């Protein structure tokens, strides 16, 4: 969808911002550009919509050389989201969102209807926020409006220049989560510039790690973290890249242990065969847990004594979420459920199994095989 062919950007003072850059972004792919300030990542992105003109080489969007397209027409076909948002202060949220469709000649009623749909899609009720002005919104809300406005003309390409960099960490994480859900629905081709490696890892289908004007490595996040291509990339991702990799390693069924289970309407057993058991309902959905100590001195049914289960997460959640859940609940294990099957219990993840899953993921990338085919040695 986006292709760079030997693209160079050299300024009159001799500074080379981008040096012989060649790479492609597939249709529907989100590629994050990450690197230190002044490395050329923003210049790269701006050459797609001709805010910066290349000195040499070609940039193509959907097979068309952008240098042959009128810049104004080109920019109306490409969504653009920046850190400062750039909303018109004298126009309402709904009017801001409908700006590009208006410019493209869409009738006012249709443009406003489309704007309302997009505001709802980014989590802003148009009935509540549509008539407000930008100054009446929080920073996070303004960023959502910026994303909605960029999508209003249904562009095939979306350019995002550190869009979440101006908000606090809590709001930033929430915006990232919401954007991932949005991207799963709309599947735009996205170039996303950031200086934050964790953000790049979390959002990108692939990461382009920039040196000075060049891409040092363009790979899946797990590969960049697990197998840095150069010493520069290894230094950039840091010695704690193993911890960063937790956020791109999903929990799989093969990572789970199978503890004893009992059902709500079972008579309370005197022996559980372990220190605790998981409590399920009739459909084998997770309900809670019960301890062996409690079972040994109580009577009645399991339902009478089951405790609430707070430490759980869905299959496919990443290992960072799993580790955070363990810490949050001071839990020695967490339950894993299958949301696709109405919460069916699958097993539990322990700290030892979490560590194994991380090691297996790293080895799988190194051997270029599925995780399930990797054996890891354990101690004990």
Other beta carbons within 10 angstroms of residue 343's beta carbon come to: 18
Q: What integer pLDDT is reported at residue 145 of this predicted model?
A: 87
Q: What integer pLDDT is reported at residue 203 of this predicted model?
A: 92
Give residue 295's pLDDT band: very low, low, confident or very high (50, 70, 90): low
Judged against a pLDDT cut of 90, whether residue 28 lies above it is answered with: yes
> Which residue is listed with tokens 């109405």?
342
Question: 15-19, 114-118, 140-144, 166-170: which range is least confident on average?
Answer: 166-170
Between the alpha carbon of residue 327 and those of residues 68, 108, 324, 337, the distances in Å are 55, 52, 5, 19
Residue 268: DSSP 8-state:
P
Give residue 208's pLDDT band: very low, low, confident or very high (50, 70, 90): very high
Q: What integer pLDDT is reported at residue 39 of this predicted model?
A: 92
Q: What is the DSSP string of 162-212?
A: STTTTS-HHHHHHHHHHHHHHHHHH--EEEEEES-HHHHHHH-SEEEEESS
Taking the C-alpha atoms of residue 123 and residue 132, their distance in angstroms, rounded to an integer, is 15
Average pLDDT in the chain: 87
Q: What integer pLDDT is reported at residue 273 of this predicted model?
A: 67
Q: What integer pLDDT is reported at residue 380 of this predicted model?
A: 46
Q: Which of 306, 305, 264, 303 is nearest to 281 (CA)?
A: 264
Using an 8 Å Cβ cutoff, are 189 and 158 in contact?
yes
Taking the C-alpha atoms of residue 189 and residue 204, their distance in angstroms, rounded to an integer, is 11
- Coil vs helix vs strand at 65: strand
Give the pLDDT confidence of 247-273 residue by residue, as tens digits. Answer: 888 999 999 999 888 888 888 776 666
Judged against a pLDDT cut of 70, whether residue 379 lies above it is answered with: no
Judged against a pLDDT cut of 70, whether residue 183 lies above it is answered with: yes
Using an 8 Å Cβ cutoff, are 342 and 283 in contact?
yes
Q: Which domains does the chain have, with CATH numbers?
A: 2-247 (3.40.50.300), 253-357 (3.10.580.10)
Taking the C-alpha atoms of residue 246 and residue 124, their distance in angstroms, rounded to an integer, is 31
Give the pLDDT confidence of 340-378 residue by residue, as tens digits. Answer: 888 889 999 999 999 999 888 878 777 777 777 777 765
Q: What integer pLDDT is reported at residue 68 of this predicted model?
A: 94
More confident residue, 55 or 149: 55
Q: What percent of the chain has pLDDT over 90?
A: 38
Judged against a pLDDT cut of 90, whether residue 77 lies above it is answered with: no
Give residue 298's pLDDT band: very low, low, confident or very high (50, 70, 90): low
* Stretch 143-164: mean pLDDT: 86
Q: What integer pLDDT is reported at residue 248 of this predicted model?
A: 83
Give the pLDDT confidence of 87-120 residue by residue, as tens digits. Answer: 888 989 998 888 888 877 888 888 888 889 888 8
């Amino acid at each position: 969808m986006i292709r760079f062919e030997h693209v160079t950007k050299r300024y009159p003072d001799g500074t080379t911002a981008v040096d012989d850059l060649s790479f492609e972004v597939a249709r529907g792919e989100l590629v994050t550009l990450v690197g230190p300030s002044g490395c050329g990542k923003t210049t790269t992105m701006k050459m797609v919509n001709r805010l910066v003109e290349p000195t040499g080489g070609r940039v193509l969007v959907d097979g068309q050389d952008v240098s042959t397209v009128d810049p104004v027409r080109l920019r109306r076909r490409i969504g653009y989201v920046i850190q400062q948002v750039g909303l018109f202060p004298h126009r309402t949220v709904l009017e801001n969102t409908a700006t590009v469709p208006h410019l493209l000649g869409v009738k006012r009623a249709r443009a406003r209807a489309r704007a309302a749909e997009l505001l709802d899609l980014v989590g802003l009720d148009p009935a509540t926020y549509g008539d407000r002005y930008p100054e009446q919104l929080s920073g996070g809300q303004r960023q959502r409006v910026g994303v909605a406005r960029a999508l209003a003309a249904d562009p095939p390409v979306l350019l995002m220049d550190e869009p979440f960099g101006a908000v606090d960490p809590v709001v930033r994480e929430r915006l990232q989560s919401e954007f991932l859900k949005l991207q799963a629905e709309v599947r735009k081709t996205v170039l996303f510039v950031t200086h934050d490696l964790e953000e790049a890892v979390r959002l990108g289908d692939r990461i382009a790690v920039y040196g000075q004007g060049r891409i040092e490595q363009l790979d899946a996040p797990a590969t960049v973290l697990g197998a840095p291509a150069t010493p520069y990339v290894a230094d950039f991702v840091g010695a704690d890249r193993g911890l960063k990799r937790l956020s791109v390693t999903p929990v799989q069924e093969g990572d789970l242990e199978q503890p004893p289970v009992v059902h709500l309407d079972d008579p309370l057993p005197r022996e559980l065969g372990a220190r605790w058991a998981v409590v399920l309902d009739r459909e084998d959905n997770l309900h809670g847990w019960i301890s062996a100590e409690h079972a040994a001195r109580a009577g009645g049914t399991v339902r009478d004594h089951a405790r609430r289960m707070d430490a759980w997460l869905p299959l496919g959640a990443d290992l960072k979420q799993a580790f955070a859940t363990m810490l949050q609940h001071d839990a020695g294990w967490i339950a894993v459920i299958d949301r696709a099957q109405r919460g069916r219990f699958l097993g539990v993840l322990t700290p030892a199994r979490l560590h194994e899953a991380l090691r297996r993921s790293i080895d799988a990338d190194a051997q270029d095989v599925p995780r399930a085919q990797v054996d890891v040695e354990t101690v004990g």
